[in-house]
Amino acid sequence: MLEAMQEKQTSIGGTVYPLPEPFLVLATQNPIEQEGTYHLPEAQLDRFLLKEVLDYPEFADEIEILDRIDSGVYEEQTTAAADLADVLFLQDAAKRVFMDESITNYIVSSVYVTRKAESYIGKELADCIEYGASPRASIAFSRAARALALLEGRDHVIPEDVKELRHVVLRHRIILGFEAIADDIRPETIIDAIFDSVKVP
């Protein structure tokens, strides 16, 4: 389905199938059962807008899960919360959310630091980065920050929108070297240091 993410089509046996608008690709990665699977190349990971990490639920959340299962809530018929026209409307509305030039500079500066990290976050952390983020990271920040502002009921992006998205936009785009992985240095540690080094507008 990686072809779908850029070319908006998929092909099987030489036959090309255009995809409907909108089309969404969701993927999961189970860190426990990876035998027989392969990590995506960095350029393919970069096509995903966001990467969220789901951990074990908190104690109270797990109680809530059991309570909901026991109540039969997952067996009930559900109705769609939005139809296709709603999704297209919201996509268009997000595009019209205002983003000041200072926010654009904040985004590009933050992504730029991932490529020139030693001058900003020090050699020790900078040496952890094998490859910095591509321009797709800036595009992802721009689109996701506008959508987040819309969800928050605003018609403009603020710096906090960008900062809130820093991990989900960059954690799969900053490629760490072998030593960083061996020392269990998390991408989030690098990302936080990068954002601490960039002046907030």
At residue 25 the predicted structure's pLDDT band, cuts being 50, 70 and 90, is: confident
DSSP per-residue letters across the chain:
-HHHHHHSEEEETTEEEEPPSS--------SS--TT--PPPHHHHTTSS------PPPHHHHHHHHHHHHHTGGGS----SS-HHHHHHHHHHHHTSB--HHHHHHHHHHHHHHHSTHHHH-HHHHTTEEE---HHHHHHHHHHHHHHHHHTT-SB--HHHHHHTHHHHHTTTSEEPHHHHHTT--HHHHHHHHHHHSPP-
Q: 12 vs 9, 15, 194, CA distance in Å? A: 10, 5, 42
* Domain boundaries, position 110: 80-201
CATH (domain of 112): 1.10.8.80
Whether 140 is covered by a domain: the verdict is yes
Indicate whether 72 belongs to any domain: no
Does a structural domain hold residue 5?
Answer: no
Residue 84 lies in a domain: yes
pLDDT at 11: 85
pLDDT digits (tens, 9 = 90+) for 139-177: 999 999 999 999 999 999 999 999 999 999 999 999 999
SS3 state of residue 17: strand
**Residue 56 is assigned to a structural domain of this protein:** no
Query: Is 179 inside any structural domain?
Result: yes
Considering the domain boundaries, does residue 30 fall inside one?
A: no
Output the pTM of the full model.
0.86
97 pLDDT band, cuts 50/70/90, is: very high
CA distance 34 to 126: 29
Residue length of the chain: 201
How many folded domains does the chain comprise?
Answer: 1
Confidence of residue 35 (pLDDT cuts 50, 70, 90): low
Tokens matching residue 120: 């900003």
Residue 12 lies in a domain: no
